[in-house]
Amino acid sequence: MQSSKDMTDLIRLGRRAVISVFSGEDLEVEDSLKERFSQKRGVFVTLLTFPERDLRGCVGIPYPLYPLWRGVIEASIGAAFRDPRFDPVRREDLDRIVWEVSLLTPPEEVPKDRIEEEVRIGRDGLLVEKGRSRGLLLPQVPVRYGWDLEEFLRNTCLKAGLGPDCWRGEDVKIYRFQTEVHEEVRPWGEVRKVFPKT
């Protein structure tokens, strides 16, 4: 579990990364940050409008490919500028957006005949893969929308651009993972843990 200070530093790093895109200047990351966040972790960055808290962008790296500091930079820039569902963030938008950072455990494949036993709403996120198609939904999503397990599976398939019942197919793999989620209370403000609820 990351401390509130750790997550504040990571979110500030994500904000600085986006600002560096606007300024055209190279982002300098302190050696102390690189050392503290050298562990490879999957990470997602979600941008939400403030105060409405509507989705404004969400991009991430599900597998532990990068040190956490770099993953937060990549995901922040992706959420701000590369989420195809939204126009790129503008500089003046940053004071009306809050950062939410989700740290992921490595995805574990779930056998089809054990989905009901091994996937729990409110604890697990889902990743569905078929060939090059991949869809991921974070564990807080079904809680937010009140979905049961089948709705969660169907919506993860849709996120992959596949049919809603794709998860039943033999050529489809299903993975579960857990997250720890922290977000800003307000833009540039205090950071708090929001998921899982303790």
Q: Whose structure tokens read 């299903």?
A: 174
Number of domains in the chain: 2
**What is the length of the chain?**
198
CATH number at residue 149: 3.30.1490.150
Assigned token pair, 7 = 């997550």
Strands of 41-124, DSSP E: 42-49, 55-61, 97-104, 108-109
Domain interval for residue 76: 4-105+179-195
Same domain flag for 14 and 48: yes
Would you tell me how many other CB atoms lie within 10 Å of the CB of residue 27?
14
- pLDDT at residue 118 tops 70: yes
- pLDDT at residue 52 tops 80: yes
Same domain flag for 150 and 189: no
The answer to whether the CB of 56 falls within 8 A of the CB of 50 is no
Same domain flag for 75 and 137: no
Same domain flag for 113 and 135: yes
Q: Quick one: pLDDT at residue 197?
A: 77
Same domain flag for 19 and 50: yes
The string of pLDDT tens digits covering residues 72-84 is 999 999 999 999 9
Q: What is the mean pLDDT of residues 134-152?
A: 94
CATH number at residue 14: 3.30.700.20
Same domain flag for 11 and 99: yes
Same domain flag for 79 and 152: no
Distance CA 192, CA 189 (A): 10
Same domain flag for 125 and 184: no
Q: Quick one: pLDDT at residue 2?
A: 80
Distance CA 185, CA 171 (A): 42
Same domain flag for 93 and 19: yes
Q: How far apart are the first and last CA of the chain?
A: 12
